[in-house]
Amino acid sequence: MDEDILNKYKKAGKILSEAREFGASLIKPGVKIIDVVEKVEERIKKLGGEFAFPVNVSINQNAAHDTADVNDVRVFNDGDIIKLDIGVHVDGYIADSARTISLNSGREDLIKASEKALSEALKMMRPGNYIRDVSDVIERTIREMGFNPVMNLTGHGIERYKLHAGIEIPNVRTNIGYQLKEGDVFAIEPFSTDGGGKVIETDKVFIYMYLADKPVRFPESRKILSVAREEFHKLPFTKRWLIKKIPTLTPLKLNLILRQLVQNGSLHDYPVLREVNNGFVAQTEHTVVVRDNPIITTL
């Protein structure tokens, strides 16, 4: 990997790390979700980063893809566990990291299972190792601590402006035969649960991603596609950002247009994911560059 590119990955990781810890310090009972999310996003910008995806705050049984909606009134509550998942890019070079915060939940062991699984997996991110063996370590570590890995959520390869670059690192052992190569970049994200070990889609959608320009009815539809393509670099975005970018949109009209753009194949939607048996879910994640001494950019 070119040294300039590596430095951009490192810079994105450093910005993310500071924003992640700042966000974790804000999460307290009674605090509005939207306040935390927007303050973290402001911090990312102030530090010189761009968004690789909206700041996620998935709570308790929700595992992923939850963020603040437009005019969101939800608050954090005592007893919650919150997955704070953040993506930052510098010139398209992405850092992706998450931690789980407990608000007196009593589920610290569940969080430790995810943390330990990540720690063990990161040690294996060296050239020549196989993804199936990394996944095996994640699964065994979580099960040995008395919990289940989430089988249908995975870590993923990262490339410039591509958050999910094709190659996955499952949280359970698979037959994936890919052999790690020096310079590969991956986000590893073990999810542990006291539920059944699988997530399903809910009817809540706050995050979308550009796919293609298709014929559309409204001028605002064309504007949304232009913003998603040119300003968001085809990376995931949220409704809150569009309302700020396109003042003529009302929340009602925005929801209507987004549904149509998903239906005609212009956008991909990311429904909030919930544990199938309503189990609690913990997540820990870092971005790593494969080397003989792996470089973890988001520590």
Just list the catalytic residues: 85, 96, 156, 164, 189, 285
β-strands 191-193, 185-188: how paired? unpaired
Q: State the Cα–Cα distance between residues 42 and 36, nearest whole angstrom.
A: 10
**279's tokens:** 């189990």
**Cα angle 193-138-296, degrees, rounded to a multiple of 5:** 110
| Residue for token pair 């850092």 | 95
CA Rg value for the chain: 19
**144's tokens:** 């040995």
Q: State the Cα–Cα distance between residues 240 and 67, nearest whole angstrom.
A: 10
Q: State the Cα–Cα distance between residues 237 and 258, nearest whole angstrom.
A: 12
> 95, 70 in Cβ contact below 8 A?
no
Residues whose CB is less than 8 angstroms from the CB of residue 238 and which lie 6 or more positions away in sequence, other chains included: 54, 67, 68, 206, 207, 208
Task: Sort 97 into a burial class: Cβ within 10 Å, 0-12 / 13-18 / 19+.
Answer: buried
> 62, 82 in Cβ contact below 8 A?
no
Q: State the Cα–Cα distance between residues 179 and 269, nearest whole angstrom.
A: 31
